[in-house]
Amino acid sequence: MSEPQLVCPYCQLQMSGCVLDTSHNAWCPRCNSAIAEGPHLAVPWMVSLALVLLTASLGLLALPLVDFEVLGIETKATLLGGIITLAQEGQWIPSLMVFFCALAAPVLLSVLLLFVIFGPDGYMRRQSLVALGYLKEWCMLDILLVGLCVSMVKLAELGDLELGAGMACLTLGQLAMAALVQGVRPVVLWQSIAEQPMTPIKGLRACPRCHALSVASAHHCWRCHKVLESRPTSGRRFCWVLLLASTILLVPANVLPITYTTSFGSTSPDTIFSGVVTLYSAGSPVIAAIVFLASVVVPIGKIIMMGQILYWSRSSTMDAKRAHKLFRLVHFIGRWSMLDIFVIAIMVTLVDQGLLSQFQVGPAATPFALVVVLTMVAAMRFDTRWLWIQDEKNRRQTDGQT
């Protein structure tokens, strides 16, 4: 019988004499990635939380997030109203992004999770589980919640604010989503669909998507059908193109006005940075700092860090562990750039309501939304195995010189 072997799906480190137990925490000794994340939610909890998230997300469609009153005139800000108004103003990309990240992605995540748990085994069930791994990055109810707080700070001096029923749905949905993201283990779900034998096997290749072990000659993963590459190289140029496009779009996103606000006869255009200054001058330094980090520091920093990581993936002086840690940071912070788009979607619901009748979305909204999308796709397309392939080459060159 061959010696049991475990392969890290993130750096392809082969660990002889190891069998993975998904009920306990386990980290790769080389790249420190989590290859098992310990206890997971029981099926009844997953079903309950998925139903709560589904119900709360659907409630966001029409229930008001904020009731706003000025001089006896009341208006209700709904997320669906903001999405429709953005589309009516020609801001199709921000409108679609808000719809997908705040409504469609949470609903799809709930439905697909229920299908994975109860659906019949087959290609569709397995691809639904694959989609779950990507959808987690695009469910942004937490960012929407922060965006609502920022919007309320901006409107606090203009009138009376009162939280609507949609706020309860948003809070409940965010709590359910956070519990699912933290408690659902894709590896455990994959085991329930198609169990990886726990007996000693000789596995030379690990699937980066479902972590299944396959023999070295396999061209496709037997469990999720992903194409397996022993030395993955494709996709690096695509990441560079995405970063270049993001860098170009970052200029109009920061230079052009992102909003025009008319209040009591006075019109003021605001860029992203001037909006931060306005928040600070209004006595909200904490909110200003959050917006500055999410809308200025994160997009610029993410492009710089991703460029550095891509350069390191071909560098002879690369520190693979440091590059891998930097990539995890980039992957974590990138989604927070959506904050400004959510703020606009909430504020724009007041258009033509007699309160902020001239509140308009500026030309910077679309390029800024594209920057968010392109940088997130670049991070998702990046293959961490590139770092460790280059690390192996560097080690061989060093050993050959000595």
pLDDT at position 201 is: 53
Check whether 49 has a pLDDT greater than 90: yes
Check whether 2 has a pLDDT greater than 60: no
Check whether 52 has a pLDDT greater than 90: yes
Which of 128-142, 154-168, 237-251, 365-379 is least confident?
A: 154-168
Instruction: Find, among 249, 375, 401, 229, the residue nearest to 303 by Cα.
Output: 375
Q: Over the stretch 121-171, which tens digit does the pLDDT of each residue have?
A: 888 898 899 898 888 889 999 999 888 888 887 777 666 778 888 889 999
Burial class (CB within 10 angstroms; exposed 0-12, middle 13-18, buried 19+) of 67: middle
Number of domains observed in the structure of the chain:
1
Run of H or E including 206: strand 205-206
Which sign, positive or negative, has the C-alpha torsion 44, 45, 49, 50? negative
**Cβ–Cβ < 8 Å for 327, 313:** no
User: 3-class SS at 5?
Assistant: strand
Q: How far apart are the first and last CA of the chain?
A: 38
Is the residue at 263 inside a domain?
A: yes
Check whether 99 has a pLDDT greater than 80: yes
pLDDT-derived band at 1, boundaries 50, 70, 90: very low
The number of CA neighbours under 13 Å toward the Cβ of 105 is: 22
Q: How far apart are CA 114 and CA 109, in angstroms?
A: 9
Other residues' Cβ atoms within 10 Å of the Cβ of residue 31? 24
pLDDT-derived band at 75, boundaries 50, 70, 90: confident
Is the residue at 208 inside a domain?
A: no
User: 351: which strand partners?
Assistant: none
Is the residue at 162 inside a domain?
A: yes
* C-alpha pair distances (Å), 211 with each of 182, 223, 336: 18, 9, 28
Interhelix angle 385-401/320-333, nearest 10 degrees? 170
C-alpha 371, offset from chain centre: 13
Is the residue at 12 inside a domain?
A: no
**Residue with the larger pLDDT of the pair 37 and 97:** 97
Which of 97-106, 174-183, 344-353 is least confident?
A: 344-353
Check whether 3 has a pLDDT greater than 80: no
Task: Select, from the ranges 194-203, 245-254, 255-264, 340-349, the one with the highest average predicted confidence (pLDDT).
Answer: 245-254
Is the residue at 216 inside a domain?
A: no
**DSSP structural state of residue 383:** -
Is the residue at 202 inside a domain?
A: no
Check whether 202 has a pLDDT greater than 60: no
pLDDT-derived band at 199, boundaries 50, 70, 90: low
Is the residue at 4 inside a domain?
A: no
* C-alpha pair distances (Å), 24 with each of 36, 75, 200: 7, 51, 19
Is the residue at 75 inside a domain?
A: yes
Instruction: Find, among 145, 60, 134, the residue nearest to 339 by Cα.
Output: 145
Domain that holds residue 181: 40-195+231-401
